[in-house]
Amino acid sequence: MTGTDAVQSDGVQSDDVRPDVIPSAALTLGDDALILSHRLGEWAGHAPVLEEEVALANIALDLLGQARVLLSMAGDEDELAFLREERSFRNLQLVEQPNGDFAHTIARQLYFSFHQHELYAELAAGDGPFAPLAAKAVKETAYHRDHAEQWTLRLGDGTPESRARMRAALDALWKYTGEMFQPVDGVDGVDWAALEDRWLAAVGAVLERAGLTLPEGPRSGAWAAGAGRQGLHTESFGRLLAEMQHLHRSHPGASW
């Protein structure tokens, strides 16, 4: 916290300050929003019911809006989105996971939106560089969290099939959740351990109401913990980027 303040207020850099820390943090948060928005965008035309087409698109658009603000804090939004190599993306492995069935998408939303909401609420309350964005985004994430919660209740406490699918999805994505609580350089003033406790309690409470329990098993495998933040991604991510970037890269320097 003090480090970045020092740069902004008096231009004097103390020893622990790196000038790239804000862009780097913006990129990290921005990549989470960008990639999850992309995955949600893949649902267009495939949702289980028309009303849900509209709901998923709303969430995707909120996230894309956040991503654009954040990437623009780090540089040119399109250069950053379309011209970086896979190893330069900092997003969580969780958000890049393929949509799977609707239960997987909802489990991913549940894990991520509860995390994002807690994080943005903290950032919004502070006076750091992300406070203005977070203050706006926290209203959006509150809705995303609610959407995930409503569907978790319905799938968990719906039919035997929906319950089994929701259970499987929660378990499958569990190992990607530990990474969310690795401190992010430049995102200051956040008590990550407390954030994790609140997240566990909140997600656990929703699952309990849905007649489900928190999955067991590690949330921080040797590979998964912090890997996305360091630019190590899962196999499907390369294909996601290939699709997302190919047109932009095919016309170097073109305007759209």
Partner 1 sequence: MVAVTPETGQDSGLGADLGAQLAAAFDAAVAAEERVEPRDWMPEAYRASLVRQMAQHAHSEIIGMQPEANWITRAPSLRRKAILMAKVQDEAGHGLYLYSAAETLGTSRDELLDKLHSGKQKYSSIFNYPTLTWADVGAIGWLVDGAAITNQVPICRCSYGPYARAMVRICKEESFHQRQGFELLMALSKGTEAQHAMAQDAVNRWWWPSLMMFGPPDDESAHSAQSMAWRIKRHSNDELRQRFVDIAVPQAEALGLTLPDPDLKWNEERGHHDFGAIDWAEFWDVLKGNGPCNEQRIGQRRRAHEEGAWVREAAAAYAEKHSAHHAAQNAATNEEAGV
Partner 2 sequence: MTQNWPLWEVFVRSRRGLSHTHAGSLHAPDAEMALRNARDLYTRRGEGISIWVVPSAEITASSPDERDPFFAPSADKPYRHPTFYEIPEGVHHL
| Residues of this chain that bind partner 2 (CB under 8 A) | 49, 51, 54-55, 58, 146-147, 150, 154
Q: Interaction with partner 1 in 116-155: which residues (CB under 8 A)? A: 153-155
Site string for partner 1, 15-34 (x = CB under 8 A): -------------------x
Nearer to partner 1, 142 or 153 (CB): 153
User: What sign results for the dihedral spanned by CA atoms 50, 56, 62, 68?
Assistant: negative
The option from partner 1, partner 2, none interacting with 146 (CB < 5 to 8 A, set by class) reads partner 2
Residue 61: exposure state from Cβ atoms within 10 A (0-12, 13-18, ≥19): middle
Q: How many CB atoms lie within 10 A of CB 126?
A: 15
62, 140 Cβ separation under 8 angstroms:
yes
CB of 48 to partner 2, least distance (A): 10
Nearer to partner 2, 146 or 197 (CB): 146
Write the CA distances from 59 to 40, 88, 142, 178, integer angstroms. 8, 25, 11, 23
Helices then strands (H, E): number in the chain? 10, 0
Q: Is residue 233 involved in binding partner 1 (CB under 8 A)?
A: no
Could you tell me the two tokens for 224?
């998964």
CB of 41 to partner 1, least distance (A): 5
Q: How many CB atoms lie within 10 A of CB 69?
A: 18
Residues binding partner 1 (CB under 8 A): 34, 38, 41-42, 44-54, 57-58, 60-61, 64-65, 67-68, 71, 77-78, 81-82, 101-102, 153-155, 157-159, 161-162, 165, 243-244, 246-248, 251, 253-256
